[in-house]
Amino acid sequence: MSWFGISRKSLLVLVIGGLVLTPIVACGTAEEAPAPAAAPAAAPAQQAAPQQPASGSQQAAAPAAAPAQAAPAQAQAQAAPTAVPQSAGSSDSMMMAEPKGILSTGLKEMGPFFLHPSTLGNPQIFVHGTAPIGEGLLQEDVNREVLGLLAESWEISDDFLVWTFHLNKGVQFHKGYGEMTAEDVVWSMQQWGLSKHPRAGQLETFWAERDGSMIIDSHTLQVHTGEPLVHVIAQRWHMTPGGASTFIASKKQTEELGVEAASEQMAATGPWEIVDHRTGEFWRMKAVRDHWRHTPAFDEFVMWEIPEESSRVAGFKVGSLDTFLMGYDSIPSVLDVEGAELMKVPNAIVQSLRIYGNWYPVEGVEARPGYDPENPWVSPTDDITSPEWDRARKVRLALMTAIDRQALVDEILSGNGSTATPIHSYSGFEHYLDGRDWEYSPERAMQLLEEAGYPDGFSITLTPALRGAPQEVESCEAIAQMWHDIGLDVNFQNIPYGTLRPTLVGRTYQGATCHAGGPLPTPASGFGSYLTENPFNRGLEHQWSDDLMRRAMGEVDPDARELMERELGQFLFDHALTDLTYYNIDAIWPVGPRIQQWGDYVRRSDVRQINGYEYIKHR
């Protein structure tokens, strides 16, 4: 049956679940903050950029109602299918005072504004979702519980093959494109499957037209996935925010305007609607009055692209920015601002070394253009028992052995992190690796290089992936110096993520990246970025791991899946292949004197970027 046929049928510590919010308040009296400048220091003054409010002293009305009843915690939910009774949405708009003033944030990189499910990539995917402009079917709350967002509830059949989504009613698209229906959901999700989304391959399969998939009525739809799927993995493909998040767009808008025009003025469903944007400068949004879920307290919201940390700090100090992506060495400057506070999210980010080029032959897949066995870290054979493979393994192990992980935590992160995790997907699941951890020994690293045939070192490119994580450039520069100290010639390149990512998608990048990600609900959640059919890749394709990762992602028995996740994690570690974690990060966000903290509403699905802006209130 066709999809589009209608069938019949947060030094005070507040502990909030898994989140510790540590407000740190600057000294001084609670006087009214000075009127902010017209625009952040980094914005060109001569252009007609969005303007800040003259005053932010008035306080908004009562806060929104607390989220509705949560779904079972993910750790509990892995064992069996789940029926989620209620979304986190609440019709609290009428409780809010009229939105007023301008909320401003400073980000490192946003890229040009274009939002369309069929063309969207990163950084735009995770930037827009932090506002959010668009909303997904699901979300992960501050306690890591999965809740409905656009989906009021959903059920998964006992055989993990059929998902039924019940949509919230009365959800309006921006720009007058009417109410969201099941048809918009199916159309949007199928568009994601055609895109450069990190999980495009899985989304295409999940939402393919097949028997058992149908639109039941305007706000109910049923999806037959074709094969069993682990719901704690598949749920993340339908969440906002995140680097692999999705949102629902108006089908009618694209039909009327076309993809390009619609992408520049996207009609989605979030509490912020895009009204203006200028590449390399800002995205300006307005609050959606009477939003189905939550009307923001601020009338406008501006995201400023300010690559330099010093400029973001300057903007915060003069009151042009209410919050911003902050490096830890800026904390003293932030706390010098009267009334400023800090909000901390522990173990929020996993920062890893990804080594690219180990794209070995996989049945049915064309040879990758970036596969070059002349690179010392790449083997000319995929035989893991061969001498050639072992030489490349020693090179990769030397790269990791040369990194002083604890020094990075102490000096780069000012102690705001740990070295608990050796492999990215195994944050929280370190016991699966049976005590494996990285040794720091420059002497051992140089010995490994000599054994591999490179006593005088070699050249390698190292690039920080700019995804919003604190100190991502500084830590990567420190690693480059550590590699230089063992004799390597490091080509360090600091380029926009929008420039780097296509080379990762195209499997043409050769070298390593410093790459941030978030903790996952189960290790197999990260395996999709190794699979051949997905656009984004973490630097490895190997027939053995490809096969086992597929099986793990489809294994609905948690005990059986754990065995495969253990085997794969130990394989990644023992061969030092990629996603080699050098530290975990505690995210710390500055809170300006005009605004209140909003820790209850942080979404844990991705906290590399600040999120939950719609819940920020006037102080």
What is the Cα–Cα distance from 240 to 606, expressed in whole angstroms? 8
Topology annotation, domain 348-586: Dipeptide-binding Protein; domain 3 (3.10.105)
Residue with tokens 């480059």: 480
Can you give the pLDDT at residue 128? 81
Neighbours of 265 (CB within 10 A): 18
Q: How confident is the model at residue 185 (pLDDT cuts 50, 70, 90)?
A: very high
Domain with CATH 3.10.105.10 in the chain: 348-586
Average the pLDDT over 233-259 and give the result.
Answer: 93
Can you give the pLDDT at residue 109? 87
Judged by DSSP in three states, 483 sits in helix
What is the Cα–Cα distance from 189 to 95, expressed in whole angstroms? 33
pLDDT tens for each residue of 284-311: 999 999 999 999 999 999 999 999 999 9
Domain with CATH 3.40.190.10 in the chain: 14-32+83-340+592-615
Can you give the pLDDT at residue 439? 97
pLDDT tens for each residue of 326-352: 999 999 999 999 999 999 988 899 999
pLDDT tens for each residue of 366-384: 999 999 999 999 999 999 9
Can you give the pLDDT at residue 3? 58
Can you give the pLDDT at residue 534? 87
Say if CB 60 and CB 53 are below 8 A apart: no
Tokens found for residue 75: 């750790």
From 31-40, 140-149, 249-258, the region with the lowest mean pLDDT: 31-40
Nearest to 209 by CA among 184, 187, 231: 187
Neighbours of 13 (CB within 10 A): 10
Number of H helices, E strands in the chain: 16, 22
Nearest to 221 by CA among 405, 481, 4, 430: 4
Say whether pLDDT at 276 is over 80.
Answer: yes
Q: Is 525 exposed, middle or buried (0-12, 13-18, 19+ CB in 10 A)?
A: buried
Average the pLDDT over 462-478 and give the result.
Answer: 93
Residue 418: which residues within 8 A CB-CB, separation 6 or more? 347, 409, 583, 584
Q: How confident is the model at residue 21 (pLDDT cuts 50, 70, 90)?
A: very low
Average the pLDDT over 481-504 and give the result.
Answer: 96
Can you give the pLDDT at residue 73? 37
Residue 123: which residues within 8 A CB-CB, separation 6 or more? 109, 110, 111, 466, 467, 468, 497, 498
Q: What angle, 0 to 180 degrees and rounded to 10, lies between the N-to-C axes of helices 442-451 and 387-401?
A: 160
Average the pLDDT over 145-166 and give the result.
Answer: 97
Q: How confident is the model at residue 200 (pLDDT cuts 50, 70, 90)?
A: confident
Say whether pLDDT at 55 is over 90.
Answer: no
Burial state string for 94-128 with b = 16 or more CB within 10 A and e = fewer than 16:
eebeebbbbbbbbbbbbbebbbbbbbbbbbbbbbb
Tokens found for residue 275: 């009204």
Q: Which CATH class is domain 14-32+83-340+592-615?
A: alpha beta
Nearest to 551 by CA among 161, 227, 254, 121: 227
pLDDT tens for each residue of 515-524: 999 899 999 9
What are the phi and psi torsion angles at 158 (to 5°)?
A: -60, -25
Q: What is the mean pLDDT of the chain?
A: 86
What is the Cα–Cα distance from 277 to 113, expressed in whole angstroms? 7
Residue 280: which residues within 8 A CB-CB, separation 6 or more? 305
pLDDT tens for each residue of 559-587: 999 999 999 999 999 999 999 999 999 99
Q: Which of 21-35, 110-124, 454-468 has the highest mean pLDDT?
A: 454-468
pLDDT tens for each residue of 81-95: 444 445 555 444 445
Which DSSP string corresponds to 95-145?
GSPPP-SEEEEEES---S----TTT--TTHHHHHTTTTSS--SEEE-TTSB
Q: What angle do CA 58, 311, 589 make, to 5 degrees?
A: 55
List Cα–Cα distances, 337 to 315, 321, 412, 486, 588, in angstroms: 11, 12, 23, 42, 16
List Cα–Cα distances, 60 to 30, 98, 382, in angstroms: 17, 8, 61
H or E, element range at 378: none
Can you give the pLDDT at residue 87? 53
What are the phi and psi torsion angles at 375 (to 5°)?
A: -70, 130
From 7-21, 118-132, 176-190, 227-241, the region with the lowest mean pLDDT: 7-21
Can you give the pLDDT at residue 4? 42
Residue 7: which residues within 8 A CB-CB, separation 6 or more? 1, 214, 215, 216, 222
List Cα–Cα distances, 172 to 168, 175, 187, 289, 293, in angstroms: 10, 9, 16, 11, 11
Percent of the chain with pLDDT over 90: 75
Can you give the pLDDT at residue 468? 81
In this predicted model, which residue has the larger pLDDT, 435 or 61?
435
From 231-245, 377-391, 484-498, 558-572, the region with the lowest mean pLDDT: 231-245
From 113-122, 225-234, 527-536, the region with the lowest mean pLDDT: 113-122
Average the pLDDT over 384-400 and give the result.
Answer: 98
What is the Cα–Cα distance from 27 to 109, expressed in whole angstroms? 32
Q: What is the largest CA-CA distance in the chain?
A: 72
